[in-house]
Amino acid sequence: MKPVRIGLLGLGVVGGGVWTVLAQNGSEIARRAGRSIEVTAVAVRDVAKARALVGPDVRIVSNALELVSDPDIDVVVELMGGDTFARACILQAIEHGKHVVTANKALLAVHGNEIFAAAQARGVMVAFEAAVAGGIPIIKAIREGLTANRIQWVAGIINGTTNFILSEMRQRGLPFETVLAEAQRLGYAEADPTFDIEGVDAAHKLTLLASLAFGIPVQFDKVTTEGISHLASEDIVHAERLGYRIKLLGITRRRPDGIELRVHPTLVPADCLLANVEGAMNAVLIRGDAVGLSMYYGQGAGALPTASAVVADLVDVARLQMADPEHQVPYLAFQPEAVVDIPVLPMAEVHSSFYLRLRVDDVPGVLADLARILSGAGISVGSMFQQPHGDQQADIIFLTHETREGDVDAALQVMQKQSFVRSDVTRLRVENFS
Amino acid sequence: MKPVRIGLLGLGVVGGGVWTVLAQNGSEIARRAGRSIEVTAVAVRDVAKARALVGPDVRIVSNALELVSDPDIDVVVELMGGDTFARACILQAIEHGKHVVTANKALLAVHGNEIFAAAQARGVMVAFEAAVAGGIPIIKAIREGLTANRIQWVAGIINGTTNFILSEMRQRGLPFETVLAEAQRLGYAEADPTFDIEGVDAAHKLTLLASLAFGIPVQFDKVTTEGISHLASEDIVHAERLGYRIKLLGITRRRPDGIELRVHPTLVPADCLLANVEGAMNAVLIRGDAVGLSMYYGQGAGALPTASAVVADLVDVARLQMADPEHQVPYLAFQPEAVVDIPVLPMAEVHSSFYLRLRVDDVPGVLADLARILSGAGISVGSMFQQPHGDQQADIIFLTHETREGDVDAALQVMQKQSFVRSDVTRLRVENFS
């Protein structure tokens, strides 16, 4: 059968990885796909450098827009990143009837609805396995493997940089800044790490996972995002003492009145598998009403793992490109006409357990007052411990049962006004996955 | 669009689960599949009991062969189990141009080549996600998610009964027989548990995983299978002391000269995720050259998890049934004409580390003699400990580095002949997944 001819936009880390995987495993891939996958052309800024990598037979252009209309190209693979130009390239490729494979989570999380609608109208595929959790075929798992389920929630470690930092902070007892500097030195964190450490990258990915799980439009602007840059080492220590570890999780849950959509540091039980995902690895835990719990674990980034996902998408396209559009697998797991706009809940309506830490004057009656404030707000305490701090002060840590976040915030406002409370109250969410 | 009309052969645990999932999540499933999935007819032994479950609108027959040629049925779902009659039904369904979904690992592991060839000739789909690891979409992950990879090995906990027994033996310090009796009482083990505890069920599943991973024919008769019924509690204790846990693993690995294909109790490092898969849960760890390590975890059995996999296959069929056969996803991940018959290695050629335990006379020179026997066979020892046993005897435990199994067996033959060796040598394989 005729090869699938691809145009590669970008030949950086991931683009280079795709080139390597296709070169290295080409025959194995063709055994699966039923045809070979060939890079016909690449679009790069540095033509000379690209020539050294791809050899003389591949067309190289410096303007990606030249490739999106090229009749010799069946599939456009967008690996440039960014949103303005990447968006233009993808939309033009779709207009010209090309299938599109992309790893661009930031683009899809913001412009996905527009892109998928355009692709639907033109009858082409847009595949993006590499956009979430690198090498883990998590999009395929949700979109095709769990189709029998009413998915109840998805919780994932979907940013390797922050998981690496949190693992190091816990295992070596180091503060955030020290570990971040090391992560930057090792190449796990960017020079400007904001997108990773503030949870923005995880929020992009969570946006896509939520759409796949629940059949809702992508809506990045509705994700509540808290990063790890303000996380204190002592909270990691206290959490461990309580039998928990702190992970940056993306969580989306279907509740009767809407969808929770949130990224934040989260205490998880130390003996659950998710807590034991260490270093830069990713993992996604899913609960469906039929399947129960399932988890997917693997590398979340890197040239070859990400290329593994890009090339798997290319094989899907190779296998399925001749299917008429109405029989193609839907972009976001649900048929476009079946996507419904379930409201995203404000954080006050989100339910979880909470870890609370505050410093108080170590005088009689303080604990009783605090307990009264919590119970007055309808919050039930699961465990508590107090640790002297010197200067006749003490740190108190509460672990609450599951409760409405708005109720906790109201109680914290009252707590914060007490004269014996000597610090801001640190409030972290806890998920027991029960 | 027209519904997909299915004929359900068998309405036992899994068949009942499929009925329940379709009834409960029908609209959610149709939102994904683009059409509804309807049970048109069921074949059961007890017609009256089935009528009570499925209501008046579903045709019920007592002979499954009536349904395989029924023009009102698009997909035959075989959930009867067994091999003779199930094979006949599936082959006839294929002959009549029906797509087939089955959970029957025993059938496919033995008759898969014949069934897939017949389906290929007729241009129909045969899907079997439910045959391996219940609710975990592991077949889809390998067949479609990891297509870019040269897969190096697959190692899985793919039998929940034995994993439950091993977890209980370790956690509660109980002997095999006691835990087996409890597992039978709880319904985790059958009245005749042979297929589970002797590793046969895991070998059926491993057969399918190996074909999916490496593009080889199914060849159940080539699997080396050792169960857990002879596993001594003390080996679980010693393993733990060495930093390992014992799991019944199905392992298949591509080596330069062939494929390893084996099921046996295996020591795995206690801090790896696979070691922490407890109770009746399943997990499959895969190493691919591009993706690195990835793991898939979930329930391996039960009505609803298994039904989740069956229905996911039905959604695939619904989405893809109109694709021309040459564009369908290949049954065993590789195109039928690309399947190659790589030899399965004899166990003597398999490589792993080994745990050895033997009882010896506690006299000077014994350890030196044993060490000389091992090193003489080219076996390098990683760690060793000795523990007095009374009666001037001692137990010695060796942990070897990776070595050829044939060399270990030769060394054990020599050891066994030494006058100071007072027991059979217990030999267990160790995998470090490095």
Domains of chain A, start order: 4-135+303-338 (3.40.50.720), 138-299 (3.30.360.10), 348-430 (3.30.70.260)
A147/B29 Cβ within 8 A? yes
A161 token code pair: 């940089």
Model confidence at B323: pLDDT above 70: no
ipTM greater than 0.90, yes or no? yes
CB-CB contact of B275 with B248 (8 Å):
no
Task: List the single residue in A147, A296, A334 with the smallest CB-CB distance to B296.
Answer: A296
- Residues A291-304 as b/e (b if ≥16 CB within 10 A, e otherwise) read bbbbbbbbbbbbbb
Give pLDDT, residue A390. Answer: 84
Q: Measure in Å the smallest separation between the Cα of A122 and chain B Cα atoms.
A: 18
Summarize the confidence of residues B156-167 as an average pLDDT: 97
What values do phi and psi take at B81, rounded to 5?
Answer: 80, -175
C-alpha radius of gyration, chain A, whole number: 24
Give pLDDT, residue A322. Answer: 63
Q: Is B105 a catalytic residue?
A: no
CB-CB contact of A395 with A367 (8 Å):
no
Give pLDDT, residue A327. Answer: 66
Summarize the confidence of residues B208-216 as an average pLDDT: 96
Chain A residues with beta carbon closer than 8 angstroms to that of B2: none
Closest residue in chain A to residue B297, using alpha carbons only: A295
Closest residue in chain B to residue A321, using alpha carbons only: B327
C-alpha radius of gyration, chain B, whole number: 24
Summarize the confidence of residues B118-124 as an average pLDDT: 93
Model confidence at B324: pLDDT above 80: no
Tens of pLDDT, residue by residue over A77-134, are 999 999 999 999 999 999 999 999 999 999 999 999 999 999 999 999 999 999 999 8
Model confidence at B123: pLDDT above 70: yes
Q: How far apart are CA A256 and CA A237, in angstroms?
A: 35
H runs (alpha helix) in B96-175: 105-122, 138-140, 160-172
Q: Which residues of chain A have pLDDT under 50?
A: none
Task: List the single residue in B146, B308, B315 with the smallest CB-CB distance to A312.
Answer: B146
Q: How far apart are CA A131 and CA A285, in angstroms?
A: 17
Q: Which residues pair with A181 in a beta bridge?
A: none
Tens of pLDDT, residue by residue over B33-71, are 989 999 999 999 999 999 999 999 999 999 999 999 999
Q: Which of B98, B105, B140, B205 is catalytic?
A: B205
Give pLDDT, residue B34. Answer: 87
From residue A289, give the alpha-carbon distance in Å to each of A3, A149, A153, B21, B313: 41, 6, 10, 9, 17
Looking at chain B, the whole-number percentage of residues with pLDDT higher than 90 is: 91
A291/B304 Cβ within 8 A? yes
Give pLDDT, residue B393. Answer: 95
Give pLDDT, residue A50. Answer: 94
Containing B262, the helix (H) or strand (E) segment is: strand B258-269
B150/A144 Cβ within 8 A? no
Question: What number of other Cβ atoms are within 10 A of residue A57's Cβ?
Answer: 8
From residue A356, give the alpha-carbon distance in Å to each of A32, A225, A397, B274: 53, 19, 5, 33
CB-CB contact of B332 with B116 (8 Å):
yes
Chain B residues with beta carbon closer than 8 angstroms to that of A288: 135, 308
Q: Measure in Å the smallest separation between the Cα of A378 and chain B Cα atoms.
A: 34
Q: Which residues pair with B294 in a beta bridge?
A: A298, B286
Full DSSP string of B204-247: HHHHHHHHHHH-----GGG-EE--STT--HHHHHHHHHTTEEEE
B28/A149 Cβ within 8 A? yes
Tens of pLDDT, residue by residue over B264-290, are 999 999 999 999 999 999 999 999 999
A187 token code pair: 């190449």
Tell the burial category of B341 from Cβ atoms under 10 Å away from its Cβ (0-12, 13-18, 19+). exposed
For chain B, the straight-line distance linking the first and the last C-alpha, in angstroms and rounded, comes to 50
Task: List the single residue in A25, A147, A333 with the smallest CB-CB distance to B148.
Answer: A25
Of A20, A261, A282, nearest in space to A157 by CA: A282
B330/A32 Cβ within 8 A? yes
Helix (H, G, I), strand (E, B) or coil at B290: coil
Amino acid (1-letter code) at residue B418 = Q
From residue A201, give the alpha-carbon distance in Å to each of A107, A279, A286: 11, 17, 20
Q: How far apart are CA A108 and CA A115, in angstroms?
A: 8
Amino acid (1-letter code) at residue B120 = Q
Give pLDDT, residue A210. Answer: 97
Question: What number of other Cβ atoms are within 10 A of residue A67's Cβ?
Answer: 26
Chain A residues with beta carbon closer than 8 angstroms to that of B292: 135, 298-299, 302, 304-305
Q: Measure in Å the smallest separation between the Cα of B326 and chain A Cα atoms.
A: 8
Could you give the angle at which helices A105-122 and A200-214 cross, rounded to 10 degrees? 30
Q: Measure in Å the smallest separation between the Cα of B109 and chain A Cα atoms.
A: 20
CB within 8 Å of A187: residues ≥ 6 apart: none
A-B contacts (CB, under 8 Å) = 237
Q: Measure in Å the smallest separation between the Cα of B292 and chain A Cα atoms.
A: 7
Q: Which residues pair with B381 in a beta bridge?
A: B400
Give me the half-sphere count of Cα atoms (radius 13 Å) on the Cβ side of residue A260: 24
Task: List the single residue in A31, A129, A334 with the smallest CB-CB distance to B334.
Answer: A31
Q: What single-letter DSSP state applies at residue B274?
A: G
Could you give the angle at which helices B47-54 and B13-33 cross, rounded to 10 degrees? 30
CB-CB contact of B131 with B208 (8 Å):
yes
Chain A residues with beta carbon closer than 8 angstroms to that of B328: 319
Looking at chain B, the whole-number percentage of residues with pLDDT higher than 70 is: 98
B292/A148 Cβ within 8 A? no
Longest dimension (CA), chain B: 82
Give ∠ CA A382-A384-A390 in degrees, rounded to 5: 170
Closest residue in chain A to residue B285, using alpha carbons only: A297
- Residues B323-338 as b/e (b if ≥16 CB within 10 A, e otherwise) read beeebbbbbbbbbbeb
Least confident interval from A218-227, A313-322, B104-113, B133-142 = A313-322
CB-CB contact of B79 with B103 (8 Å):
yes
CB-CB contact of B272 with A297 (8 Å):
no
A299/B28 Cβ within 8 A? no
Q: How far apart are CA A60 and CA A49, in angstroms?
A: 10
B140/A145 Cβ within 8 A? yes
B135/A137 Cβ within 8 A? no
CB-CB contact of B267 with B355 (8 Å):
yes
B1/A32 Cβ within 8 A? no
Model confidence at B325: pLDDT above 70: no
A326/B323 Cβ within 8 A? no
Model confidence at B326: pLDDT above 70: no
CB-CB contact of A335 with B29 (8 Å):
no
Q: How far apart are CA A317 and CA A339, in angstroms?
A: 23
Q: How far apart are CA B373 and CA B43, in angstroms?
A: 62
Q: What single-letter DSSP state applies at residue A421?
A: B
Chain B residues with beta carbon closer than 8 angstroms to that of A1: 326
Chain A residues with beta carbon closer than 8 angstroms to that of B309: 148, 291
Give pLDDT, residue B327. Answer: 66
Q: Measure in Å the smallest separation between the Cα of A318 and chain B Cα atoms.
A: 8
Asked whether the whole model's pTM tops 0.90, one would answer yes
